Structure 1
Amino acid sequence: MQEVTSPPRLVFTDLDGSLLDHHDYDWEPARPWLNRLAAAGVPVIPVTSKTRAELLPLRRELGLEQTPFIAENGAIIGLPAAWQHARLDRDPANVDGLRVKALGVDIDFLTRRLRVIRERLQADFRCLPDMSIEEIVEATGLDAPRAELARAREGSIPLLWHDSEAKLDALQEMLINDNLTLTQGGRFWHVMGSADKGRAVNWLMARFAALRGVAPWSLGLGDGPNDVALLKATDAAVLIRGVHSHPVEIEHPSLYRTQTAGPRGWAEGMEHWLGKELS
Structure 2
Amino acid sequence: MQETISPPLRLVFTDLDGSLLDHHDYGWEPARPWLERLDAAGVPVIPVTSKTRAELLPLRQALGLEQTPFIAENGAIIGLPAAWQHARLDRDPANVDGLRVKALSVDSDFLMRRLAVIRERLGVAFRCLPDMTIEAIIEATGLDAARAGQAREREGSIPLLWDDSEAMLDAFRTLLANDDLVLTQGGRFWHVMGNIDKGRAVSWLVARLGALRGINPWSLGLGDGPNDVALLNACDAAVLIRGMHSHPVEIDHPRLYRTVETGPRGWAEGMEHWLGQELA
TM tier, shorter chain? over 0.9
For the residues of structure 2 that align with 1:191 and 1:138, how far apart are their CA atoms? 21
For the residues of structure 2 that align with 1:213 and 1:250, how far apart are their CA atoms? 31
For the residues of structure 2 that align with 1:41 and 1:116, how far apart are their CA atoms? 48
1:6 positional shift: 3.0
1:94 positional shift: 3.5
Going from structure 1 to structure 2, the CA distance change for 1:5 and 1:136 (only over 3 Å counts) comes to farther
Contact 2:82/2:97, CA 8 A, preserved across alignment: no
For the residues of structure 2 that align with 1:96 and 1:149, how far apart are their CA atoms? 24
Q: Deviations over 1:220-256 (max 9, x none)?
A: 0000000000000000000000000000000000000
Q: Which residue is equivalent to 2:20?
A: 19
Unaligned runs of 5+ in 2: none
For the residues of structure 2 that align with 1:5 and 1:168, how far apart are their CA atoms? 51
Q: TM-score scaled by structure 2?
A: 0.97
Going from structure 1 to structure 2, the CA distance change for 1:122 and 1:264 (only over 3 Å counts) comes to same
Q: Which residue is equivalent to 2:266?
A: 265
Q: TM-score scaled by structure 1?
A: 0.98
Instruction: Describe the SS at the equivalent of 1:100.
Output: strand
Q: Deviations over 1:135-193 (max 9, x none)?
A: 00000000000000000000000000010001100000000000000000000000000
For the residues of structure 2 that align with 1:6 and 1:41, how far apart are their CA atoms? 10
1:117 positional shift: 0.5
Q: CA RMSD in A?
A: 1.0
1:11 positional shift: 0.1
Note if 1:113 corresponds to 2:114: yes
Unaligned runs of 5+ in 1: none
For the residues of structure 1 that align with 2:265 and 2:19, how far apart are their CA atoms? 8
1:106 positional shift: 1.7
The residue correspondences of 1:56-95 to structure 2 (distance < 5 A) are 56-94=57-95
Q: How many residues align?
A: 276
For the residues of structure 2 that align with 1:94 and 1:176, how far apart are their CA atoms? 39
Displaced runs of 4 or more, over 2 A:
92-96
Q: Deviations over 1:205-229 (max 9, x none)?
A: 0000000010000000000000000
1:107 positional shift: 1.3
1:108 positional shift: 1.2
Going from structure 1 to structure 2, the CA distance change for 1:5 and 1:125 (only over 3 Å counts) comes to farther
Q: Which residue is equivalent to 1:135?
A: 136
Q: Which residue is equivalent to 2:41?
A: 40
Q: Which residue is equivalent to 1:255?
A: 256
Contact 1:7/1:215, CA 8 A, preserved across alignment: no
Instruction: Describe the SS at the equivalent of 1:12.
Output: strand
Q: Which residue is equivalent to 2:145?
A: 144
